[in-house]
């Protein structure tokens, strides 16, 4: 008896946080690695497009139909792989919700990912983007990922360096796009050996507001959750995928050029000598924050968040994103790059 089920003409609107309508020609739910071996050996899989889908929080279906196979990662499990006096190494299924993993670590006083609280999506999607927020990234705790290559039909474990993590990207986003991340291994720190990361100014502000002078893993997580709720609309209420664009990385000559336009331009210097300009500042500087067009708009809370105002189609959100990109380039000479994966 077959272990996988081929669901035909499936509405994927419930599976993307933009809440845009689209239909997948086929959908297969992957609950273990055996499902993947069966999948690649089936004639129905050959010569068809395929898309790996986690929580749908960093994806935009641009068309009314995806003419291929959507592979829904539903591999579960959080297990302690090893432990010493200071650290715990966890092996986590790719289909586990990221917020569930953060909650597990917070509840067990394990530090390292509390600054990534309330980020939507699944654990399997996290290495693709090398998710990051408030001065932390997945790569800070990443040990390895277990992948299944849909092209070769082989499974293997890739240590962190092979994943090539970088700012909002990795080898999985750039060149190795045909693999499903089945499990992720992270190394976190026991609370008594851990120093929380409150270097990001907004975290300190919220902790002060909450009357917390000695922050803990739990209180930092709570502060991050409060910050995110204030800045990013709940996708259950208004469709969005969080930050739509990446921050802009530039050299010193471009930094000085932008500063000549506005001396108050915020910059952050990277260790390699390049500079980061917040994309939200650029978009707001060009007058886009809070603007609305029929079914789509830019959030009034955060200029990086494009929103579905009710019944938007994916193509309408793409249209808005392209308008913003062209205008920022025309006004400031900088090209924005989408962080969200646009599926056409």
Provide the annotated active-site residues.
168, 243, 339
Burial (Cβ within 10 Å: 0-12, 13-18, ≥19) of residue 100: middle
CB atoms within 10 A of CB 323: 14
Q: How far apart are CA 134 and CA 202, in angstroms?
A: 8
**83 within 8 A of 60, measured Cβ to Cβ:** no
Alpha-carbon distances of 99 from 11, 107, 122, 203, 294, rounded to whole Å:
25, 12, 8, 19, 32
**Contacts of 7-12 spanning 24+ positions with Cβ under 8 A:** 10/70, 12/53, 12/56, 12/61, 12/66, 12/70
Q: How far apart are CA 142 and CA 172, in angstroms?
A: 14
Backbone φ and ψ of 7, nearest 5°:
-95, 130
């Amino acid at each position: 008896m077959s272990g996988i089920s081929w669901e035909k003409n499936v509405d994927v609107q419930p599976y993307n946080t933009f809440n845009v309508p689209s239909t997948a020609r086929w959908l297969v739910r992957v609950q273990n690695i055996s499902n993947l071996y069966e999948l690649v050996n089936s004639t129905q899989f050959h010569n068809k497009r395929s898309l790996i889908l986690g929580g749908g929080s960093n994806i935009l279906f641009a068309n009314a139909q995806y003419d291929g196979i959507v592979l829904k990662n539903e591999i579960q499990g959080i297990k302690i792989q090893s432990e010493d006096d200071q650290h715990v190494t966890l092996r986590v299924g790719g289909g586990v919700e990221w917020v569930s993993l953060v909650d597990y670590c917070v509840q067990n006083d394990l530090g390292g990912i509390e600054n990534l609280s309330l980020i939507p999506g699944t654990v399997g999607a996290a290495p693709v983007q090398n998710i990051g927020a408030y001065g932390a990234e997945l790569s800070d705790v990443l040990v390895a990922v277990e992948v299944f290559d849909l092209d070769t039909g082989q499974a293997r474990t890739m240590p962190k360096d092979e994943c090539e993590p970088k700012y909002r990207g990795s080898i999985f986003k750039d060149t190795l796009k045909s693999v499903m991340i089945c499990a992720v291994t992270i190394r976190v720190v026991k609370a008594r050996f851990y120093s929380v990361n409150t270097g990001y100014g907004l975290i300190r502000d919220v902790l002060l507001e909450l009357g917390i002078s000695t922050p803990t893993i739990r209180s930092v997580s709570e502060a991050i959750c409060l910050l995110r709720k204030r800045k990013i609309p709940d996708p259950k209420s208004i469709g969005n995928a969080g930050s739509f664009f990446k921050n802009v990385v530039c050299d010193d000559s471009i930094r000085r050029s932008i500063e000549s336009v506005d001396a108050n331009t915020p910059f952050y210097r990277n260790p390699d000598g390049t500079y980061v300009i917040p994309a939200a500042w650029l978009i707001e500087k060009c007058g886009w924050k809070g603007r609305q067009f029929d079914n789509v708009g830019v959030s009034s809370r955060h200029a990086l968040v494009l929103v579905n105002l009710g019944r938007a189609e994916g193509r309408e959100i793409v249209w808005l994103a392209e308008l913003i990109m062209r205008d920022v380039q025309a006004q400031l000479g900088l090209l924005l790059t989408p962080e969200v994966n646009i599926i056409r």
